[in-house]
Structures are given as C-alpha cells and as structure tokens.
Amino acid sequence: MADVKRARVWISGRVQGVYFRQNTQREARRRTLRGWVRNLVDGRVEAAFEGEPGAVEAMVAWCRVGPPEAHVEDVVVEWERPEGSPTGFEVVW
C-alpha cells in the first residue's frame, strides 16, 4: 500500500464568496486527493486532504494562496492519521 498522508486545514482571510471551495475541490481532484471542504460560520474555510504525501503537501501550499479572488491571511494545518476517506473530494455544506 502506498504511503498516505492527511492534513486538516483552516484558512482565514477573504475566503468566502470568492469560489474558494469550488476551486479547492477542482485542485484536490486534479491531484487525486480524497476529502472535503466547507465554509465555517466564523468566515474561515476548513478542508481535509488525504492521499499521496506530495499531493497533500502541494494542496496545503495551494491553500496559502487560494484562487485569484481570495486574500488568504492565515492557514493553520494539523497533520492527522489517515482515515481511509471515501473516494473523491466534495464540497460539504
């Protein structure tokens, strides 16, 4: 079995109303990652990425910039034990 890594991230700044979740989904799927992304009531975006370590690290790096309309101020990362998330990457509500 290939090495698997999991990261949970919380992104703050101007990250809601700028298609952050949709762009995160597109980027994660492009990297064949599993997981999810959602808006939080406090204005942050939260996401979980699971998959090949290099792809997870690249996704965390992408979150530090985000899509062109976003203004990322901070990204908090927690490395977690892989959960064997279901296939795919989804926007959750």
Q: What is the pLDDT of residue 2?
A: 61
Instruction: For residue 20, give the amino acid letter.
Output: F
38 a catalytic residue: no
What are the domain boundaries of the chain? 16-82
The domain 16-82: what is its CATH number? 3.30.70.100
Active site residue: 6, 21, 34, 44, which one? 21
> If we measure between CA atoms, which residue out of 22, 3, 4, 7 comes closest to residue 61?
7
Tell me, yes or no, if 44 is annotated catalytic: no
Tell me which of 8, 23, 31, 39 is the catalytic residue: 39
Put the strands of the sheet holding 89-91 in their side by side order. Answer: 71-80, 5-14, 45-51, 34-39, 89-91
pLDDT for res 93: 85
pLDDT digits (tens, 9 = 90+) for 4-55: 999 999 999 999 999 999 999 999 999 999 999 999 999 999 999 999 999 9
